[in-house]
């Protein structure tokens, strides 16, 4: 099965560069603005788009992404509306991969089979579910693979060589390497250390490896893009969005551009990488 | 007999940490290797006679066990039915049952070479127990406590700080117990290399629900023996309050396979089940939070709802997974008591027995006042007096002042 994610990495390989992966929270700060932002991302240079599914108790996220989720929920966002947003995006773009990222409970309550069918129809390509390790693969991972969606697993500095095969077994699309032990928005990891970690993972898989957590600047994005198949930026984009809001937390005329401009400059960083990792 | 019922209610969880459909290991990958290590370390400790011997020594001389099983004569007379015994967990060092579990976990942490201990706390009882044992064993201690709870449980905050712990007021989310647990998990993910997360109740990812239950089962084991000595037979019923449900599980577990023993768990009904409350079984449904599948309070989108209870220790939108299973199999009956009922029970036990119960435990007493009168005088009812009420006196004074005005 070839998904939009597989196709995108094949294209990038031809171009000889790494992917720039963006993360933003669905419905932040309101559903309409959020869709406008997502629509602006490919043109600004995003190769793959991760969309957060808001959850009240995001226990692996730092203050910025926690706040983004709460803004979205306050604005009335639900999982159903997140899927509507994906459909809205797909009206004009049938090639940019879309990955939903979040926690399991809203999906479990929506109903796993119904969710997978609706997500596939809406145009979702992959899922990253923070609180579903390989030990719980029967819950969603296996059904997602059967439904034709990629299930993208997180690997971390605590995932040792003994455990890596289990983590990679049912992973597809790409591997998301979390460069630090910590929550989103924490300090960046050293790119040399990241390079070693990526090389270690690549000894166990042919899948592309993207690296996230702690990347905030074009320079940092470039350094990571030289070591990995993709660099993921989330908190820095969420912060730019937040800084563009008015005092009541509502979107302003600057909001979409604030995010798109930062995406463009980070994309420059990724595209300036000397050589993408093989 | 219902063919789907297990032969024994005491064999869970299975190897992957499930009690029926509940439990499991729903955690971030960063924590998974550590949880597997903990499972191994705990299994090794459990099989090591010197671990149990060392623990028994501390339970006796440091905690002050066994805790008495006390015949509450005046409460029994007042209610005019079942003969009521109080399991006096409030007499333990630190003032509640929490210390039983913390002692066990700290000893496991020491075996694993962890020097930094983190904990979440609601009422502060688990935080105080953790701070106490960290002081005793010279370990660094960080306690996460919702900012709302820091305000309503001030005496316990001072106590933890006096014991050398760092208390971190949690400002995220609803600023109560669930948010303290989120923040503790965030700390753990960040400091996974040197940190042991001492969870205060029978919840969280496997092996915590099993491990905490095992450490708390000393309550039920002693009760069994003490009742045998006092009355020459098993009790007829057990009653305990439930937030996450550790004091209840500790009392219940040794009796689960005695079908003659009726078992009642009491959730916090807050302002009432149609309003804000913390009764996950009465008002919730199965979902996934904090590492396990269990009954949770949530909306139609799977977003976790605010719990409310007068008692900070019960103010949690979930319940331990083994309780969810015991509810679905019908072995344990889950009831609930409102804030007002708990307050009335607090006053009743204080006046009749000279024992101010913790507001948490007062929920169990509240249901005893309904259950006991309907039962014969030879019915032996044990209620777990899981904590003492001293910590609640400032809060109760404020509430009573408010009611007079």
pLDDT of residue A275: 63
The residue of A52, A53, A59 whose CB has the most chain B CBs within 10 angstroms, and thus the best one to mutate to test that interface, is A59
Nearest to A182 among B179, B190, B302 (CB): B190
Encoded tokens for A278: 């093989």
A154 φ, ψ (degrees, to nearest 5): -90, 135
Residue B32: its chain A contacts at CB < 8 A? Answer: 133-135, 158-159, 163
Cα separation of B237 and B260, whole Å? 8
The residue of A109, A140, A179 whose CB has the most chain B CBs within 10 angstroms, and thus the best one to mutate to test that interface, is A109
User: Residues A250-264: pLDDT tens digits?
Assistant: 999 999 999 999 999
Contact A156 B193 (CB under 8 A): no
Q: Is A104 on the interface with B (CB under 8 A)?
A: yes
pLDDT at B157 over 60: yes
pLDDT at B1 over 80: no
**pLDDT tier at A1, thresholds 50, 70, 90:** low
B-chain residue closest to A161, CA distance: B33
Measured between alpha carbons, how far apart are the two ends of chain B, in Å?
A: 56
Across chain A, mean pLDDT equals 95
Q: Contact B241/B315 with Cβ under 8 angstroms?
A: no
Interface of B with A (CB under 8 A): 16, 24-34, 172-173, 178-179, 181-182, 185-186, 189-193, 287-291, 293, 296, 298, 300-304
Output the CA–CA distances (angstroms, integers) from residue B354 to B205, B257, B386, in the order listed. 39, 34, 16
pLDDT of residue A276: 55
Q: Please state whether the predicted TM-score (pTM) of the whole model is above 0.90.
A: yes
pLDDT of residue A190: 84
**ipTM for the predicted complex:** 0.95
- A163-191 average pLDDT score: 91
Cα separation of A208 and B51, whole Å? 47
pLDDT of residue B405: 66
User: Residues A13-72: pLDDT tens digits?
Assistant: 999 999 999 999 999 999 999 999 999 999 999 999 999 999 999 999 999 999 999 999
DSSP state letter for B165: P
pLDDT at A165 over 80: yes
**pLDDT tier at B118, thresholds 50, 70, 90:** very high
Give contacts of A 160-219 with B, CB under 8 A.
160, 163, 167, 178, 181-183, 186
Minimal C-alpha gap between A231 and chain B (Å) = 19
DSSP state letter for B354: S
B-chain residue closest to A78, CA distance: B301
pLDDT of residue A198: 96
The residue of B22, B25, B29 whose CB has the most chain A CBs within 10 angstroms, and thus the best one to mutate to test that interface, is B29
SS3 A183: coil
pLDDT of residue B6: 84
- B174-183 average pLDDT score: 91
Minimal C-alpha gap between A15 and chain B (Å) = 32
pLDDT at A277 over 60: no
Cis peptide before B66 (omega within 30 of 0): yes
pLDDT at A124 over 80: yes
Whether A136 is catalytic is no
Contact B182 A57 (CB under 8 A): yes
The length of chain B in residues reads 405
- A115-125 average pLDDT score: 98
DSSP state letter for B177: H
B-chain residue closest to A104, CA distance: B288
User: Residues A223-234: pLDDT tens digits?
Assistant: 999 999 999 999
pLDDT at A152 over 90: yes
Q: Is A140 on the interface with B (CB under 8 A)?
A: no
Cα separation of A175 and A192, whole Å? 19
Q: Contact A101/A79 with Cβ under 8 angstroms?
A: no
């Amino acid at each position: 099965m070839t998904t939009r994610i597989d196709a995108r990495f094949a294209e990038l390989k031809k171009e000889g560069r790494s992917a720039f992966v963006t993360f933003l929270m669905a419905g932040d700060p309101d559903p309409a603005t959020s869709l406008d932002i997502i629509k602006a991302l490919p043109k600004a240079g995003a190769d793959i788009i991760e969309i957060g599914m808001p959850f009240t108790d995001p226990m692996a996220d730092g203050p910025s992404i926690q706040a983004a989720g709460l803004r979205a929920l306050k604005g009335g966002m639900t999982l159903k509306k997140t899927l509507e947003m994906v459909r809205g995006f797909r009206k004009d773009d049938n090639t940019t991969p879309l990955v939903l990222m979040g926690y399991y409970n809203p999906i479990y309550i929506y109903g796993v089979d119904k969710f997978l069918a609706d997500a596939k129809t809406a145009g979702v390509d992959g899922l990253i579910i923070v609180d579903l390790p390989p030990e719980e693969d029967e819950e969603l991972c296996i059904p997602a693979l059967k439904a034709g969606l990629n299930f993208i697993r997180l690997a971390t500095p605590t995932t040792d060589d003994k455990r890596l095969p289990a983590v990679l077994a049912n992973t597809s699309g790409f591997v998301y390497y979390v460069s630090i032990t910590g929550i989103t928005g924490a300090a960046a990891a050293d790119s040399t250390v990241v390079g070693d970690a990526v090389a270690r993972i690549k000894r166990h898989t042919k899948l592309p490896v993207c690296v996230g957590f702690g990347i905030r600047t074009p320079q940092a994005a470039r350094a990571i893009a030289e070591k990995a198949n993709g660099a993921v930026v989330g908190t820095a984009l969420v912060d730019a969005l937040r800084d563009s809001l008015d005092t009541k937390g509502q979107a302003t005329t600057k909001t979409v551009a604030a995010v798109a401009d930062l995406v463009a400059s980070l994309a420059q960083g990724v595209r300036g990488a000397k050589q993408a990792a093989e | 007999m219902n063919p789907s019922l297990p032969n024994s209610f005491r064999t869970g969880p299975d190897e992957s940490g499930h009690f029926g459909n509940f439990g499991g290991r729903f955690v971030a990958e960063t924590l998974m290797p550590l949880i597997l290590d903990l499972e191994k370390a705990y299994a090794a400790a459990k099989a090591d006679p010197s671990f149990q011997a060392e623990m028994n020594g501390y339970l006796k001389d440091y905690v002050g066990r066994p805790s008495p099983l006390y015949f509450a004569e005046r409460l029994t007379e007042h209610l005019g039915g079942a003969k009521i015994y109080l399991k006096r967990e409030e007499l333990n060092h630190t003032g509640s049952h929490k210390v039983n579990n913390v002692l066990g976990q700290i000893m496991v942490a020491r075996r694993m070479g962890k020097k930094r201990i983190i904990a979440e706390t609601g009422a502060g009882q688990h935080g105080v127990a953790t701070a106490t044992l960290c002081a005793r064993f010279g370990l660094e201690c960080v306690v996460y406590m919702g900012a709302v709870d820091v305000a309503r449980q001030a005496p316990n905050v001072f106590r933890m700080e006096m014991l050398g712990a760092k208390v971190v007021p949690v400002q995220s989310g609803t600023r109560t117990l669930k948010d303290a647990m989120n923040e503790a998990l965030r700390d753990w993910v960040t400091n996974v290399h040197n940190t042991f997360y001492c969870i205060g109740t029978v919840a969280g990812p496997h092996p915590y629900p099993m491990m905490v239950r095992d450490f708390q089962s000393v309550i039920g084991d002693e009760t069994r023996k003490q009742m045998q000595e006092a009355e020459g037979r098993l009790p007829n019923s057990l009653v305990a309050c439930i937030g996450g449900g550790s004091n209840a599980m500790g009392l219940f577990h040794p009796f689960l396979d005695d079908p003659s023993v009726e078992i009642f768990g009491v959730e916090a009904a807050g302002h009432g089940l149609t309003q804000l409350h913390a009764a996950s079984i009465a008002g919730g449904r199965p979902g996934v939070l904090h590492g396990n599948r269990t009954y949770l309070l949530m909306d139609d989108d799977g977003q976790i709802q605010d719990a409310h209870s007068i008692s900070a220790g019960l103010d949690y939108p979930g319940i331990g997974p083994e309780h969810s299973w015991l509810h679905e199999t019908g072995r344990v009956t889950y009831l609930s008591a409102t804030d007002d009922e708990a307050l009335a029970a607090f006053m009743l036990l204080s006046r009749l027995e000279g024992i101010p119960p913790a507001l948490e435990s007062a929920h169990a007493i509240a249901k005893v006042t309904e259950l006991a009168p309907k039962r014969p005088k030879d019915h032996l009812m044990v209620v777990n007096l899981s904590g003492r009420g001293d910590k609640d006196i400032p809060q109760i004074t404020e509430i009573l002042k408010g009611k007079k005005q």
